[in-house]
Structures are given as C-alpha cells and as structure tokens.
Structure 1
Amino acid sequence: MQQGLATSADGELILKLYELRTEAVMRQARAWITGEFWPTTAEEFFVVLNDFGSQKSCYLRQVVTYWEMAASLVLHGSLSADLFVDCNPEPFFILAKLAHILPAIHEKLPTYFSKTLQLIEISQPAAARYELARKNVAARLEARKAS
C-alpha cells in the first residue's frame, strides 16, 4: 500500500471518483443507502439485495460495488490510502450501518464489503474513520428510536 504524500495522479483519480459519485442515478442511490436503508436483520438486507431488478436492489449493489472498486484501487497501489480516507467517509459509514449484521451476511456472501474491510485492517486512518462512523451510526440509531 502506498505510503507518504499523495501524487498528482492520486489527486486526479480522487477527483474522478468524486465526479462519478455525482452522476444522477449514483447520487439517488447514495442518498437512499445512507439515509433510508437501515436494515435491522440480515434477512431484511437480503430481501432488498435479492430483489433483482428492483430500484433498491440496484441502488444497494451500485453503491457497494462502487466503494469496493475504490477500495481496490487503494489496495492495489493506484491511489493513496490516506488521501482516499481523508476524502471519503461514506464507505465507512455504510459499512458501519451493516456492522451488526455483517457476520450473518458473510455466512452467505463471505466477500461482501471485503475490500473496505481489508483497507480498515491495514490502514490506521481507515480504522479510525470506521470507528468514528460506528459511533455516528450508533448515535443516529438512538435518535431514530427516540423519534
């Protein structure tokens, strides 16, 4: 994994990733997965995931595979890990939303979100970002329960 300062190529790639995130359907998918999708069980998760052709299933697959692709770029040395983590809290937030059901998801899909998890294992900044996201998710869940 790349260490040290990000390069100009890293900057160009991070801007391209940002540009891809702003595409209209991707923006809708990201809004749904970050704001509306709060599965409480793996069964709820799989109902959405396995409803092939439905908008929500497409959104879920689009966003997760996007972030997994981006994490793969980091893991293969094409993008600075520190720059990626600094610029992208969203994959860690989505993973944190699924953390409580991830073991059950992995029973059926052992590699689900594996690239982001691998990044968290080998990068201290990614691990710290993920822990912050877990706290954020816990606070949001408490707020949702209260309302």
Structure 2
Amino acid sequence: MPLKDYPDHYDAELALKLYDLRRESVMRESRAAINATFLPTSWEDVLAITKPDHPLNAPFRQCATYWEMVYSMARHGVMHAEFMMESSGEGLLLFSRVEPWLEQYRAHVGNPLAFRNAEWISKESELGRTVAERFRKRMQAHLSANASKA
C-alpha cells in the first residue's frame, strides 16, 4: 500500500483516538514507569525486562506493542507518517533504549520483527529520523555516563 501523500480528517480522527488510548489509566501508568525507570545500560538490563517476574515486564510489553501498533499505521499507509509523528514521538524513546541491543533482543524473544515499525519510522519518516536521532543522543550520553562510572 502506498504511503499517504497528505493528512486528511481520518488522520486527525486516528490521532485523537491514539491520544485517548495513551490517557487510559493502565497505559498511562505503564508509560510513566517505562519512561522514568527503564534506562538500560547493558544487554543484561534489556534481557531482565523480558522476564515475566520483572516489575516492568507488563508495562514494557504494553508500551512496546502500543507503539508498534501506532507506527504500523504509518508504515502501511493508514495514517500520514509525518502528521502522526507530530504527536507520537514517545515510542521512539522506548525504541532508542532497546536499539543498541536490537538484534540480541530479536534473537532472544524469537521474533525477528520485534520493533519493526519503530525501526521503520525512525528511518523512513523525516520527522521520525529527527526524533529518533535526538533520543539516540540521549541514550548515548546515558551509556557513556554509565561506562565512565564502571
């Protein structure tokens, strides 16, 4: 399916619905937990969150699948990518935290398509590239600061 050339009122309706879904109480709690406390510094940190008994496992799964659903709408031409990215950059924050270990993560969970849509939007959308690069710089600074502590 071709990508949309311009946003229309359907894109606006989807953007509003996606915003409503982000405000749902469990989703809000999951986003807050992941954004504030999931700051991996190693593959072991990423691996730990995949364990069912990890306190951030459920929030991680909820956030990752939500953002993958959102970004799939752009990848498949359901929603205009640039318009969507104007209000949906947060998912690239999570992606930037997993990206340094993405291949290991995919192999470990047995899903070569994990974070496929976030990866796509971070490369194929102009605004997605800009947002992803900003989050990558933050992640690199985080990793560098923790490497100097070791």
Normalised by the size of structure 1, how large is the TM-score?
0.86
| 1:26 corresponding residue in structure 2 | 27
Decide whether aligned partners of structure 1 residues 131 and 48 sit closer, same or farther in structure 2, where only a CA change above 3 A counts. same
* 1:93 and 2:125 are equivalent in the alignment: no
Q: What corresponds to 2:82 in structure 1?
A: 82
Structure 2: give runs of 5+ residues left out of the alignment.
Answer: none
**What SS is found at the alignment partner of 1:88?**
coil
Is the CA contact (8 Å cut-off) linking 2:41 and 2:146 kept in structure 1?
Answer: no
SS at 1:111 equivalent = coil
- Over 3 Å counting, the alpha-carbon distance change for 1:128 and 1:60 in structure 2 is same
2:57 maps to a residue whose letter is S
Give the distance between the partners of 1:43 and 1:63, measured in 2 at CA.
Answer: 20
In 2, distance between residues paired with 1:19 and 1:85?
16
Q: 1:126 aligns to what? A: 128
Question: What residue identity is the alignment partner of 1:32?
Answer: A
Identity in percent: 29
Aligned-pair CA distance for 1:22 = 0.5
Q: CA deviation at 1:48?
A: 1.9
Are positions 1:116 and 2:118 aligned together?
Answer: yes
Look up the match of 1:15.
16
In 2, Cα distance between equivalents of 1:39 and 1:58: 16
Does 43-52 or 64-73 show the bigger shift?
A: 43-52
Q: What letter is aligned with 2:19? A: Y
Check whether the contact 1:40–1:101 (CA below 8 A) recurs between aligned residues: no
User: Residue type matched to 1:29 in 2?
Assistant: S
- Measure the CA separation in 1 of the matches of 2:104 and 2:51: 15
Between 115-124 and 6-15, the greater mean CA deviation after superposition: 115-124
Q: What RMSD over aligned residues (CA atoms) do the two structures have, in Å?
A: 2.2
Alignment match, 1:3: 5
Contact 1:30 1:59 in 2 (8 A): yes
Cα gap change, 1:140/1:88 in structure 2, threshold over 3 Å: closer, same or farther? farther
Moved more, 38-47 or 123-132: 38-47
1:37 alignment counterpart: 38
Residue 117 of structure 2 aligns with an amino acid whose one-letter code is: K
Match of 2:72 in 1: 72
- CA gap 1:144/1:56 in 2 versus in 1, 3 angstroms: same
* Structure 1 counterpart of 2:76, one-letter code: H
Letter in 1 for 2:40: P
Aligned residues: 145
Q: Tell me the TM-score normalised to structure 2 length.
A: 0.84
Q: Extract unaligned runs of 5+ from structure 1.
A: none
